[in-house]
Structure 1
Amino acid sequence: MTTHHARISPTAKLAAFLRAETDIPYCRQIADMCDAEEVSRTFDPGFIANHRAYIELRFKSLNAFIHRLGFRQVLEFAGGVAPRGLILSEDPSMLIVETDLPELLEEKRLIVKALIPLSERTNYHLHSANVLQSEEVWNAAGLFEREPITVVHEGLLQFLTPSERKQFAGNIRSLLKVFGGAWITSDVVIQESFERFYPETKQASTLKRVTEVTGRSIAEDAFIDWEAATSFFKEEGFAVERFKQIDFVPEMRSRVFEPQVLERIEYEEVWVMRLIN
C-alpha cells in the first residue's frame, strides 16, 4: 500500500511551490528546502499561474474554518509539506497532530526542525499514518483527550479511488464517534470542475502529468456531481454543510485576478461533515 501512495508526494511539493509566493508563514523557506521549484518545472506554466490563487485560498480558508469551529484538537491527514501544524501550534492552547506516509513525514520532520525547535513546541506532533489503515489512524489520535477534534485534509480525497474513499470515511466516522467534532476539507471535487478549470488544450496534458506523477486518475475518480458527493457522505453516516472558501478569506476578493482565476476562487468550497446522530 505504502509504495503505491508515497508517489503522491510530488503534488505536495508542487503545492509548496505555489504557496511560496503567498504571505502564508514559513512557505518560502519550506519551498526552498524541499526543492519545490524543481518539481514545478515539470508542470505547464499556465496551469501554475492559474493554480496559485486557488492553492492560497484553499489553505487559508481551511485554517479560518478551524478557528471558526473552535475545537482545540486538530488531526491533519496527508499534511505534506504544508505549514498548517506549524501555524496552528503557535497557539499553545491547541493540540495539533499531523500525519503523512513515513517517507514524506521524515522530510517534513527535517523541515520543521530547521524552522523551529520542536522540543519547545510540545503541542505539535508529527505521526506517520496511512489514512486507509485504521490502526495507524487510531495511533495518531492516541495523543488526544476525549474532547472534540477537527479532522482536516487538503489535496487528499481526489487521489483516493471510490473504494478507498469509503475506507477513509469509515476511519473518520469511528474517530468522531469517540471524540466528537467535525471533518472539514476542500477536497470534494466533481467532474464538472475539470471541464471548467482545465481548458481542453491544457486539460489533457496537465491531468496526464498528474496521473503520471501519482498513478491516480483524478478526473475519472471525481464525484459525478454535487448530489453524488453529498449522498456519498450521507451513506457513510455524515450530515454535510457546504461553504464558499472565499467567504472565509474575503480580502482575496479585493485583489486583481484573471477572469478564469476569479471564477475558480468564487467556485471552490469547504465541506463540513458531522456525524448524523
Structure 2
Amino acid sequence: MAYFFAGTFMETPSNRDFNSISPSAKGLLYLKGHTTLPYAREAVALLAEPEPFPADPEKVARYWARIVHFEQRYRSIDQLLQPIAIKNIIEISAGFSFRGLTMAADPSVYYIDTDLTEIIATKKAFIAQLHPDPLAGHLDIEALNALDEAAFRSLTARFPPGPVAIVNEGLLMYLDTAEKQQLCGIIRRILQQSGGYWITADIYIREDPEVAGKMYRNDALMQFLEAHRIEEKKFSSFEAAESFFEDMGFVIDEVAQPNHSLISSLPKFMETLTAAQKEKMKQVRRTRATWRLRLAD
C-alpha cells in the first residue's frame, strides 16, 4: 500500500509498529476511542493492544470525565469553524486528531495538518491505513514547530488565494508567556496577509491550588502535566486571557457554547456518578474555553 503526502511518496508497511507513540499521545488516543470522533476508534484498533482501563470506581469516573473533556474540546473547534466556511485550514499541534482527514472529503478544502516530527511520522502511517483511497480534497501532513515563522509561512504559502483558518487544541498551555507572545506574533502576521481567523480551544484557566493538589496525586497524566509546569503556564482568568490577546492584536469574534447533545461520551460519564456527585457538578468552575479570534480593527 502506498500514500501521497504533500507531493512525497511513502511506503506503508502492513506490519507498522505503533508502539513508538509517546505514552501521553497514546493515552489521549485511547480516550478518544470511546467517542464517535472521526476515525478515533479505528485508530485505536490499529494499536492492537489492550487499553489500560482503570478498575477503581473513582478512577473510572475521572477517566470518563477526561473523555468528555477532550471530546468537547475537539467538537468546540468544529462549532466555530463550520459557520465561517473557510476552506484553507492549517491545524497546529494536531496530535492524533483526524479532523483534517475528515474535512478533506470536501473537494474545495485544502487542509494542512501539522505537529512535531515524531508525531507526524506515525500519523502518516495511521492515515495510510485508515484511508488508503484518494481524497476529494487536499490534505498535507507536515512536521512543524509552530514557533518557526519561516516554516509556518512556507506551509501557509501553499494555500490558494483566500482567507485562512488557523486552529489548535492543545498547545498554549505548554508555552510560557514569551513563547505565547511569539506564536501570537506569527499568527497575526499571517492573518494580516491572508485574512481569516484563529480558533483555539486552548484557553485554560488555572485550577484552585487545593483542587490542583488533589488532581496531581497518584495520577500519571496529571504528574506528566505537573512535570511540564502546565498549571503555571495557564491563564490566571478568562479576563486576563482576553487582555493578553488584545495586547497581541486580537479580539474575540465568537466563544463556543457548550452543546451537550454533541458529546457522545457524556451519557456514559453520567452513569459513573452518584446523585451527590451529579449535584456537585453544578458548582464546578469552568476552566477552559474555545475562542475564535480575529485581528483587531
Band of TM-score, shorter chain: 0.7 to 0.9
Q: How far did 1:119 drift?
A: 4.6
- Does the CA contact (< 8 Å) of 1:14 and 1:36 recur in 2? no
2:225 corresponds to which residue? 211
Which structure has the larger Rg?
A: 2
Q: Once superposed, what is the RMSD of the aligned Cα atoms?
A: 3.0
Call closer, same or farther: CA 1:269–1:132 in 2, change over 3 Å: same
**Matched residues, number:** 263
Q: How far did 1:32 drift?
A: 3.1
- 2:187 maps to amino acid: I
Which residue of 157, 160, 163 maps to 2:172? 157
Matched, 1:11 2:24: yes
Call closer, same or farther: CA 1:197–1:271 in 2, change over 3 Å: farther
The alignment partner of 1:219 has SS state of: helix
- Does the CA contact (< 8 Å) of 1:13 and 1:36 recur in 2? no
Percent identity, aligned pairs only, is 27
- CA distance in 2 between partners of 1:25 and 1:47 (Å): 23
- Does the CA contact (< 8 Å) of 2:38 and 2:99 recur in 1? no
1:246 corresponds to which residue? 258
1:227 corresponds to which residue? 239
- CA distance in 1 between partners of 2:127 and 2:153 (Å): 23
1:65-112 per-residue CA deviation (whole Å, 9 max, x = no partner) reads 211111111110011111111111111111111111111101100000
TM score, norm. by length of structure 1: 0.83
Matches within 5 A, 1:156-175: 156-175=171-190
Matched, 1:195 2:208: yes
2:121 corresponds to which residue? 106
2:289 corresponds to which residue? 269
Which residue of 109, 133, 137 maps to 2:148? 133
2:196 corresponds to which residue? 181
Matched, 1:33 2:46: yes
- Does the CA contact (< 8 Å) of 2:106 and 2:137 recur in 1? no
Q: How far did 1:255 drift?
A: 5.2
- Does the CA contact (< 8 Å) of 1:155 and 1:187 recur in 2? yes
- CA distance in 2 between partners of 1:51 and 1:151 (Å): 25
Q: How far did 1:33 drift?
A: 2.9
- Does the CA contact (< 8 Å) of 2:34 and 2:265 recur in 1? no
Q: In proportion to residue count, which structure has more helix?
A: 1
Q: How far did 1:26 drift?
A: 0.7
Which residue of 248, 256, 264 maps to 1:236? 248
Q: How far did 1:240 drift?
A: 1.5
